[in-house]
A and B are shown apart, each in its own frame.
Chain A
Amino acid sequence: MAAPERTWVPIEPGFFTIPSDRKETPRLLGSRCAACGEVFFPRRPICARCLGRETVDVPLGPRGTLYTWTYTHFPLFGSRRADAGGYGVGQVDLPEGPRVQAVLSGGPGAFRIGMEMELELEVLRENSKGEEVVIFRFRPVVEPGGAK
């Protein structure tokens, strides 16, 4: 019998969904301006485009297009080498309009501009209640060479 799944809690509330079925894809939580229709991530009560004061919550993604990327070898700015490898960082254009900057899953050779990306959740650590704290990231929908 498999060990029971631990409860997932977001690193900060209000940025992404945590589906009750872990096989389902999470969504980002955005806002649409009630006046001009512009869409934002993350949520904001005041429209950045027309300054309207009414926005409505909308789920975004979960897929988008990779606008740019890098692979970071030195997590600590300008100082010392990382203990444990590096990580990808990118900006993903969502079909609704926002460009989202996030960590990417995959090695340094996994990314190319224009590729399709999908949102996923990553467990960062355990909190004092024994729950797992999760953050969002993007992964390539088709990884080169089929490698995972």
Chain B
Amino acid sequence: MKLEDVAVIGVGMTRFGAYRERTLVDLAREAGLRALDDAGVSFRDVGEAFVGYMQATPMTGIRIMKEFGLTGLPVSHVENASATGLIAFREAAYAVSSGRCDVAMALGFEKMTDLARGSGQGRGVGRDTIDSVILPAAYFALWATRRMYERGTKPEHFARIAAKNWNAGARNPWSHRQPDHVVTIEEVLASPKVAEPLTAMMSCPVSDGAACAILARKDLARRLRPGRPLVVPLSSSLQTETYTRGHTFLGPVVGPASMTRDAALQAYEEAGLGPSDVNVALVHDAFANEELEYYELLGFCAPGDAEKLLEEGETEPRGRIPFNTDGGLIARGHPGGPTGLAQIHELALQLRGEAGARQVEGARVGLAHLVGGGSVCTVNLLRRE
């Protein structure tokens, strides 16, 4: 279903990072208040809220929402693994688009450092069940090895993407990783191996943080912030796995890569746009080789041409289609629940022309993509109006 008459009227986030001394409540409050203030609305105006996180206990979202006030608003939890934040955004967009409320809030928060610190036996580490042994790094490394075999891709290609995203992080004040020097391909390749051929610097960090988006009808958006360009969600697709021969049921982190292609086709069709209309793309680069695959699966080049697109610099900040201008998961960070809402934060700033040193000139259409373990894929298209 096409989204109608809805705009992103406010965004806010904490810088992502390792916040061992800060609570989830504290992080969520900071991001939420920033988004409300950016929108120019009171929490009393919010008609419905969608809260996304992966690790905290049940009902944490409802308890945290009480921080903003006890207005009796409907609150629902959303959890779709790494895609959680974008699905909270999707639900908020449809809540407004369907006429259920005038203003909706999508809030994501997470402390991944709690998980990593934990017992040292976090999910997927031990071998206590038949399905618990394959880690995300290993899973995406399986993609990388196969691509090297099929396409002749080199580790240097993955390293070039990682370096690009690290260096984007240096220009983003909200980024977890903000390197104090220009990160080189050689430096990425020389970092410790995680799962061959992936290295530590080709992998996202363990991050904490929160991010929030406020959505409302377009007339409210115009009245609240006259003169500010409207950031309009046009489509938001969500898919789970489809079956083809050779499907791997036991152990994979996400399903077939074709999920991204199918979710993108649906999002483009509903928005009435194609890849050539997109000016900035934010994707699930938990591991650098994923971004290379998504160049093709999102339609920015033909199958087999991703290495060429990369080598020609087309996905660099000044290229034809800049990818992960905020540093992506690799630099900006990937705390889980808020990750997708950090993407919406970046797209809102880009489409409003407020992205500062990382502004893509004349950006009119932005794309946000995430995959989530289990698995799901979501592609979202937003336009400046």
* Residues in A lying within 8 Å of B, measured CB to CB: 11-12, 15, 38, 40-42, 44, 48-49, 67-81, 89-91, 93, 97-103, 108, 113, 124, 135
Residues of B with C-beta under 8 A to A89: 133-134, 138-139, 141-142, 195
User: Closest A-chain residue to B144, C-beta based?
Assistant: A70
Q: Mark B173-199, 1 if CB is under 8 A from A, else 0.
A: 000000000000000000011111110
Q: In the complex the two chains form, what is the Cα distance from A126 to B252 in whole Å?
A: 27
Question: With the chains together, A44 CA to B250 CA distance in Å?
Answer: 12
Query: Which of chain B's residues have a CB closer than 8 A to the CB of A15?
Result: 130, 250
Interface string of B232-274 (1 = CB under 8 A from A): 0000000000010111111110000000000000000000000
Name the residue in B192, B251, B252 with the highest tally of chain A Cβ atoms < 10 Å from its Cβ: B251
List of 10 A-B pairs having minimum Cβ-Cβ separation, nearest first: A70-B141, A101-B251, A68-B146, A79-B116, A72-B195, A89-B138, A99-B246, A12-B130, A48-B243, A68-B142
Q: Which of A38, A40, A76, A81 has the most CB atoms of chain B within a 10 A radius of its CB?
A: A76
Assembled-state Cα–Cα distance A75/B205 (Å): 15
Chain A residues positioned under 8 Å from B116 (CB to CB):
76-79
Q: Judging by beta carbons under 8 Å apart, are A77 and B136 in contact?
A: yes
* Residue contact B149 to A42, C-beta cutoff 8 Å: no
Once bound together, how far apart are the Cα atoms of A124 and B127, in whole Å? 8
**Closest-CB distance, A106 to chain B (whole angstroms):** 13
Residues of B within 8 A of A49 (CB): 243
The contact of A79 among B145, B206, B251, by CB within 8 Å, is B206
B303 contacts partner chain A, Cβ-Cβ < 8 Å:
no
CA distance A21 to B196 in the complex (A): 36
Contact A113-B141, Cβ < 8 Å, known A12-B130, A74-B195, A77-B135: no
Given contacts A15-B130, A78-B206, contact A113 B145 (CB under 8 A): yes
B155 to nearest A CB, angstroms? 12
Stretch at the interface among B46-54, B118-126, B221-229: B118-126
- A70 touching B130, Cβ below 8 Å: no
Residues of A within 8 A of B243 (CB): 48-49
Known: A71-B195, A72-B194, A76-B125. Is A113-B146 also a contact (CB below 8 A)? yes
Which residues of chain B come closer than 8 Å to A103, judged between CB atoms?
Answer: 133
Cα–Cα distance between A97 and B122 once the two chains are bound (Å): 33
Q: By DSSP majority rule, is chain B's interface helix, strand, loop, or mixed?
A: loop
Contact A72 to B138, CB < 8 A, known contacts A41-B250, A48-B247, A78-B205:
yes
- Given A72-B138, A73-B194, A78-B206, verify A100-B250 contact (CB < 8 Å): yes
* C-alpha spacing A135/B130, complex, angstroms: 7
Min CB gap A73→B, angstroms: 5
Residue B42 interfacial (CB < 8 Å): no
Q: Which residue of A lies closest to B205 (CB)?
A: A78
Does chain A have a CB within 8 A of B57?
Answer: no
The answer on a CB contact under 8 Å between A41 and B146 is: no
Contact across chains for B250 and A74 when beta carbons are under 8 A apart: no
Could you tell me the distance in whole angstroms from the C-beta of B112 to the nearest C-beta in chain A?
8
Asked if A77 contacts B137 (CB within 8 A), the reply is: yes
User: What are 23 pairs between A and B in contact, CB < 8 Å?
Assistant: A11-B127, A41-B250, A48-B249, A67-B246, A69-B142, A70-B138, A70-B141, A70-B142, A71-B196, A72-B194, A74-B192, A76-B120, A77-B116, A77-B122, A77-B124, A78-B194, A78-B204, A79-B122, A89-B138, A89-B142, A97-B246, A99-B248, A124-B127
Question: Quick one: closest B residue to A71, CB to CB?
Answer: B196
Q: Which residues of B contact A68 (CB under 8 A)?
A: 142-143, 145-146, 149
Q: From the candidates A69, A99, A135, name the one contacting B247 in the complex (CB within 8 A).
A: A99
Nearest CB on B from A102, distance (A): 7
Residue in B129, B136, B138, B205 whose beta carbon sits within 8 Å of that of A11 in the complex: B129
Task: Give the residue name and chain of the A residue nearest to B141 (CB).
Answer: A70
A44 to B120 alpha-carbon distance, docked (Å): 33
B165: Cβ under 8 A from any A Cβ? no
- Say yes or no: is B203 at the interface (Cβ < 8 Å to chain A): yes
A53 to B250, CA, bound (A): 20
Q: Are B196 and A42 in contact (CB under 8 A)?
A: no
- What distance in Å separates the Cβ of B118 from its nearest Cβ neighbour in chain A? 10
In the complex, A94→B27 CA distance in Å?
48
Q: CA A100 – CA B203 in complex, angstroms?
A: 25
CB distance from A125 to the nearest CB of B (A): 8
Complex-state Cα separation, A16 to B197, whole angstroms: 30
How far apart sit A76 and B145, CA to CA, in the bound complex (Å)?
Answer: 20
| Cβ-defined contact, B142 with A76, below 8 A | no
B194 near A113: Cβ-Cβ < 8 Å: no
Once the chains bind, are B120 and A70 in contact (CB under 8 Å)? no
Whether the pair B146, A73 counts as a contact (CB closer than 8 A) is no
Contacts A11-B130, A89-B142, A90-B142 given: A74-B196 contact, CB under 8 Å?
no
Chain A residue nearest to B145 in the complex (CB):
A68
Nearest CB to that of A137 among chain B residues? B133
Q: Which residues of A contact B135 (CB under 8 A)?
A: 72, 74-77
Q: Hey, which chain A residues are within 8 Å of B124, CB to CB?
A: 77
